[in-house]
Amino acid sequence: MQEIATRKVTISDIAALQEIGRKTFYETFAANNTAGNMEQYLEEGFSEHKLAAELNNEHSLFYFALLGGRIIGYLKVNLGMSQTELQDSDSLEIERIYVLQEFQGKKVGQVLYEKAIELALHYKVDYIWLGVWEENKKAIGFYTKNGFVPFDRHIFKLGDDEQTDIMMKKTLQADQSAH
**Quick check: is 127 catalytic?**
no
What is residue 179's predicted lDDT score, i.e. its pLDDT? Answer: 42
pTM of the model: 0.92
pLDDT at 121: 96
| pLDDT tens, N- to C-terminus, the chain (179 residues) | 689 999 999 999 999 999 999 999 999 999 999 999 999 999 999 999 999 999 999 999 999 999 999 999 999 999 999 999 888 999 999 999 999 999 999 999 999 999 999 999 999 999 999 999 999 999 999 999 999 999 999 999 888 999 999 999 999 975 444 44
- Catalytic member of 41, 74, 98, 143: 143
Instruction: Write down the pLDDT at residue 101.
Output: 95
6/104 Cα distance (integer angstroms): 16
Task: Give the per-residue pLDDT at 87.
Answer: 83
For residues 150 and 167, the answer to whether their CB atoms sit within 8 Å is yes
